[in-house]
Amino acid sequence: MSDPEASADEHYVSIPRGGPIYISDMVGPLTKVADFEVSIFRELERLKAELSVDSLEMFDDEISVEDLKTFSEEELVAQAFEEACRDDELIKESSQTLTEHLGTRSEREVDSSTIHDPSDYVARDNKGSDKSKSNKRKRGKNVHQKNTVDEDYVLKVEQLAKIKEKQEEEKAAARLHSFNGSCSSSHSASTSSSKIGRMTSLKSISSGTKVRAANAHGHIAVHFPEVVLCIEVYHYKKTWVKTQEFLVLGRQFLTEMRDRIYCITDEIMKKTGQDDPSGYFLVEDVFCNDFRHPAAVDYSKPILNWLQDSRSEALEKWESIASGELPQKQKALLGSKIGPQLPHFKTAKMQVTRFCDLRFRLGAGYLYCHQGDCKHQVVIRDMRLIHPEDVQNRAAYPLITFQPKLRFQKCSVCKIFKAVKVTVDDKWAAENPCYFCDLCYYMLHYVNGSLLYDDFSVYEYLHE
């Protein structure tokens, strides 16, 4: 469901996600926006008291998680190649020194003795052959040394790769407990690591999302502290289907949210000329009535009169409601032993009542009634302080964070255009009811501007 007329005046803004974990069928204690703000500031003061000044300075002086040294793949290869080359140069230098030493020694021996015996020539020839054999052995030794260097090179690359993987795991684990809120999760870590997987899931939960916001004329700054409420509105018939979700500021009036709630009943009543501007929100024991229009009536008055005139019957019905399946589950979990008591209902004007003036329970279902008897369940899902990444323009709120798209019914004749009319008991229509676009409807039912027959019912078709 969506309001097509308002979609042209909307643009996309980014909001942070997160907040309290919402559990269905679980209702929080009775609270108020002011009580929540006080509890938050008390918790902050308690944390400041636990962290001494010395510890705060220590955290300031510590290296950030982002400053931890990590190695890229290119750096790993370069470092391994450098170490392997360093080892190769050491081997070459040592072999060259040994060769020079042996050559110097041989020259001394030849110069110190003169060969006269022919047997010396034979011995020299044998010595030459021994020298060639020694050269072969040296060449074999050099090949073996080269293979050893290659193996050492591969081994060093593998060792450095393991070091890098360990560093990434330690960096991800450190970020989980980091005091630096500006740290972002690393994308270069191994996907096989379970710790990195947990970091990815945490990032997906806390990442921002884009939603549509109506163009607000002018800019009104949001003053801190401000609380953001997440409020859900459900379908008037399919009570399990959520139709809208809002982010509302605690200091906004209830009428500001009512004006953003979209319901097909409002559109139908406007088309028939029977639009009723009256309505109310029932939150705990307060009926918040909308009296902005001069023709608005007090919907809560007959209910309050009935409660006063038929108190015993009202108490019996209230006990039946309080002993339902959901309240029984909540009592079993929360251990409440208080018996059902009929609330002392009172009234307030919606146009002067802010969300911060109400007492409510997170997760509880409240009532929105309009157009006489069209009722919606309203749930205040969670509550949090405003985030720096939130929209800082008060005029942009209430902000719609969820609203299903329109599902258009096509014309039953041409199957191309959207249906704008629906007929019932139409003898020339292929279906009953039958949906028509403007062109197909007039081609079937009109000739030269006059209606061919009128023994059927026709209605404007509104998309839900």
The confidence score (pLDDT) of residue 391 equals: 87
- For residue 339, the model assigns a pLDDT of 55
pTM of the model: 0.58
Q: Mind listing the pLDDT tens digit of every residue in the chain (464 residues)?
A: 444 444 445 566 767 765 555 566 678 888 899 888 888 888 888 888 887 655 555 555 555 555 555 666 667 677 776 776 666 665 556 556 655 655 555 555 545 444 445 455 444 555 555 555 555 555 555 555 556 656 666 777 777 778 777 777 777 766 655 444 444 444 444 444 555 555 554 444 445 566 666 655 678 888 888 899 999 999 998 888 999 999 999 999 999 999 999 998 998 888 888 899 999 999 999 999 999 999 999 999 999 998 888 888 888 887 777 666 666 666 666 565 555 677 888 999 999 999 999 999 988 889 999 998 999 999 998 898 888 888 888 888 999 988 887 778 899 999 989 999 999 999 888 888 899 999 999 999 999 888 988 889 998 887 66
What pLDDT was estimated at residue 30?
87
Query: Which residue intervals of the chain bear CATH 3.10.290?
Result: 12-41+207-318+340-402
pLDDT of amino acid 3: 47
Q: Domain 12-41+207-318+340-402 carries which CATH code?
A: 3.10.290
pLDDT for the residue numbered 118: 47
Q: What is the pLDDT of residue 434?
A: 92
* pLDDT attached to residue 261: 94
User: How far apart (Å, rounded) are the C-alpha atoms in residues 252 and 34?
Assistant: 14
